[in-house]
Amino acid sequence: MLDRALARVNHWALDAVAPQWVDYVVSNTMTDFNRWFNGFLWTYDLKALVEQVIDEAPGVKTFVLRPNQHWRGFQPGQHIEVFLPIDGDTVRRYYSLSGLPNGRFSITVKQAKTGKASNWMHEHLRAGMSLKVGHPQGRFCHQGQAKLLFLCAGSGITPCHSMVSALLAQPESERPDIQLIAQFRKPSDVIFMQTLQQWAQDGLKVTTALSSLSADEVSLPDVSSRLDTRQLQKHCPDLLDRDIYLCGPTGFMNEMITHLQALNVDLGRVHTERFMLAEPDGASPEGFEAAGAEVFFQHLGARITLTAEDQGKTLLQVGLDHGVMLESGCCQGMCGTCKLTVQEGQVSGNSLGKAVYLCTAYPASRSLVLDA
């Protein structure tokens, strides 16, 4: 009963009072008792209260969250770090955000058989519980292009859903030309099915690809079999004219990059977001000597010359060791905070098309040019 009463107080405070005034009152009444009694408002941490849990599809749940007064908003396509209290430890994971009315947001989580975090969230996270979260980060956001293709699979639809929702909320005269192609294994696996159907009814070109179907089994114009070069051409004839936002499991993204290259798509127009931890892929290629190699961080105007001490270091380590102010986040190749684009030269390790994740990638040529 006390938890429900506190939840109502928290809701009232955040609905009725501007966040800066809540912050002012709380910061000036911060006591051990207040922090114990109501740790959601009386805290210096950014926290989010679970308001609702929605079953999106088998093994997929959406958690509707209400942040406290420390929340400063986000850009559609960004993600947050969530701190989960599991078995006495704090487990950190990154999830894409979807915006909701009244300052709320949601994260959508697919349960993985061996996923410690996703299993705990599906089995234990309930309405009324609160979590510590990080501030939004990431650059997988719409950058103003006029023609877009959102190409995604599985849980990778989440940041795409966030961006498309925000773009459709704009006046029709200001919206870009949007197309969405989303791949799932079978119909029951489709995430945000009702939203996709509504978008299609409203005139958005939406294609659902089902990887379990063969081309002969597909009879509807807005349904595709497993995506390949032919299916991409069929469902998006003007592919070469669009900027592509690509997100999904690593295998799917690697396949799509291969298909897009076969179709002569400029990989500089492919914007990527990983949706699971990347597998380590070694260091610099055998025989590569770091000493004397040059790396130019074009967006920062910083050029560095590597030394023998840089042998075997990631691009992030190399840059930081030479005084380059590079952004980083999870340092596991997942969050995308350190992601840059290869303009010239080669890298090894964690890359996708022209995108390179500095924390898990290595120089592989004597000259390398990277840009934001």
Domain 2-133 CATH (choose: 1.10.287.130, 2.60.120.10, 2.40.30.10, 3.10.20.30)? 2.40.30.10
Weakest-pLDDT range from 1-5, 95-99, 266-270, 303-307: 1-5
Fold match between domain 2-133 and domain 147-274: no
Q: Residue 20: pLDDT above 80?
A: no
Task: Quote the CA–CA distance of 169 and 199 in Å, as a whole number.
Answer: 12
**Domain edges within the chain:** 2-133, 147-274, 294-371
Instruction: Tell me the per-residue pLDDT of 125-144, one tens digit each, with 9 for 90 and over.
Output: 999 898 999 999 888 999 99
Instruction: Tell me the per-residue pLDDT of 254-282, one tens digit each, with 9 for 90 and over.
Output: 899 999 999 999 998 999 987 655 544 55
Task: Quote the CA–CA distance of 259 and 253 in Å, as a whole number.
Answer: 10
Q: Stretch 240-244: mean pLDDT, rounded?
A: 98
DSSP-assigned states of every residue in 36-77: HH-TTTSSSS-EEEEEEEEEEETTEEEEEEEE-TT-----TT
Task: Quote the CA–CA distance of 263 and 71 in Å, as a whole number.
Answer: 43
pLDDT at 371: 95
Give every CB contact of residue 57 below 8 A, 6+ residues apart in sequence.
Answer: 188, 189, 190, 191, 193
Query: Which pair of tokens denotes residue 370?
Result: 């990277």
Instruction: Tell me the per-residue pLDDT of 221-237, one tens digit each, with 9 for 90 and over.
Output: 688 889 999 999 999 99
As a CATH number, domain 147-274 is 3.40.50.80
Specify the 3-state DSSP secondary structure of 236: coil
Could you give the count of Cα atoms lying within 13 Å of 37 in the half-sphere of its Cβ?
A: 11
pLDDT at 9: 53
Q: Return the amino acid letter for 49.
A: L
**For residues 279 and 250, is the Cβ–Cβ distance under 8 A?**
yes
Q: Stretch 146-150: mean pLDDT, rounded?
A: 98
Q: Which pTM does this prediction carry?
A: 0.75
pLDDT at 260: 96
Give every CB contact of residue 220 below 8 A, 6+ residues apart in sequence.
Answer: none
Task: Give the fold, CATH level 3, of 294-371.
Answer: Ubiquitin-like (UB roll) (3.10.20)
Integer-rounded Cα Rg, in Å, for the chain is: 22
Task: Quote the CA–CA distance of 366 and 363 in Å, as a whole number.
Answer: 8
Percent of the chain with pLDDT over 90: 65
Cα dihedral 159, 266, 231, 176 in deg (nearest 10): 50
Return the closest-CA partner of residue 267 out of 335, 154, 356: 356
pLDDT at 14: 56
**For residues 132 and 44, is the Cβ–Cβ distance under 8 A?**
no
Instruction: Tell me the per-residue pLDDT of 327-341, one tens digit each, with 9 for 90 and over.
Output: 887 777 777 789 999
Return the closest-CA partner of residue 336 out of 151, 137, 141, 143: 137
Could you give the count of Cα atoms lying within 13 Å of 124 in the half-sphere of its Cβ?
A: 12
Residues in the chain: 372
Q: Residue 21: pLDDT above 50?
A: no
